[in-house]
Amino acid sequence: MTMDDQKKLTSYTCTVNPMQVAQIHRDLEARGFSIDTVPYAHFRARRDKLNLVAYESGKLVVQGKGTEDLVQFYLEPEVLGQAALGYEHVLDPEFYETRIGVDESGKGDYFGPLVTAGVRVDATVVELWRNGGIQDSKRIKSAKRIDQLVRLIDTTPGAVAKRVVVGNRAYNRLHKKMRNVNNLLGWAHARAIEDVLGVAEAPKAISDQFGDPAIIKRSLMQRGGTIELIQRTKAESDLAVAAASIVARGEFVRRLGMMEAKWGVKFPPGASLQVRVAAVEFVKRHGAEDLVEVAKVHFRTTDQVLAEAGIEEWKWEAIRKEWNRRLEGNT
């Protein structure tokens, strides 16, 4: 592989309408792509190491060697009618601006901590990452790939990445005090911003929309008092926020692994039936009192777990009192 090949884009996403989907299907078939179907998609097209999926949602994803050429010489001129690739700094004036991206992982996971990450980028960092595969962590299915990108983010000159980890006991204590997940998130986001600003300056911070921006502003201390706070939907499309999402997810998975080693129980992510089964196993092995150490006990999942573990409802109040004693530090 030449240096030029290494620098080329290998992942691209855009939105297309039904007429464009039909055109792409016809054109790629004529260009020798093999066409088949995958779940939730109109079709998948493959040729050599290049893979394209047109999803029913309207999202078009291109991945693999040859992505950049397909986008620049076919998709943009013949389908999308625009030349955007390589002109991000012109089409989006914020693309190269110095900023902090903030995102979290673990908010919707019954087991494990809440991890918030802040990542500062500037023009040099953005240029280094532009074709490096930094994207919203929810679109990256491989744990190995997450680890690779975390290492890239941590070792890129000029980038600053900070993690704020709220372990389960601390999470449950803060949630009991704040009574609101958004308030807790705002506090954690503010801590991540402050930690980054302790290393390098930035004029603004960007995060996903989850509540009143004043929640973060109230939690910021001296370093972050003058920073511009921006909340927007789908903030992960910003490179700094996408990097923060990767760092947060990587740290969450690492912490979950540490918990599994400590307790000898597999802790699946999310809040699915598989999670409830694991929680019931945990309660039977370690007791319901220890659930506050590994889970977010305000989830409705908790009542289901206590019932499925065979604990009579009249005992639940005593269990919750024990949780409160632990959260208050009286263990």
**Would you say 280 and 309 are in contact if contact means Cβ atoms under 8 Å apart?**
yes
Determine phi and psi for 229, rounding to 5 degrees.
-105, 125
Q: Over the chain, what is the mean pLDDT? A: 87
Q: Report if pTM > 0.75.
A: no
More confident residue, 216 or 269: 269
pLDDT at 286: 95
Res. 52: pLDDT tops 50: yes
CATH number for 99-257: choose from 3.40.50.970, 3.40.50.150, 3.40.50.300, 3.30.420.10: 3.30.420.10
Q: In what order do the strands lie in the sheet with 34-36?
A: 11-15, 59-64, 50-55, 41-47, 34-36
Locus of tokens 């801590």:
191
pLDDT in tens, 33-42: 999 999 889 9
Q: Report the pLDDT averaged over residues 11-32.
A: 89
- CATH fold group of domain 3-85: TATA-Binding Protein (3.30.310)
pLDDT at 247: 97
Give me the residue spans of the domains in the chain.
Answer: 3-85, 99-257, 262-327
Q: Report the pLDDT averaged over residues 95-103.
A: 90
Q: How far is CA 30 from CA 27, 83, 305, in A?
A: 5, 23, 55
pLDDT at 93: 60
Res. 131: pLDDT tops 80: no
Locus of tokens 């370093």:
223
Confidence of residue 5 (pLDDT cuts 50, 70, 90): very low
Q: Which long-range contacts (CB under 8 A, 24 or more apart) does 262-269 make?
A: 263/294, 267/111, 267/112, 267/294, 268/111, 269/109, 269/111, 269/112
Res. 126: pLDDT tops 80: yes
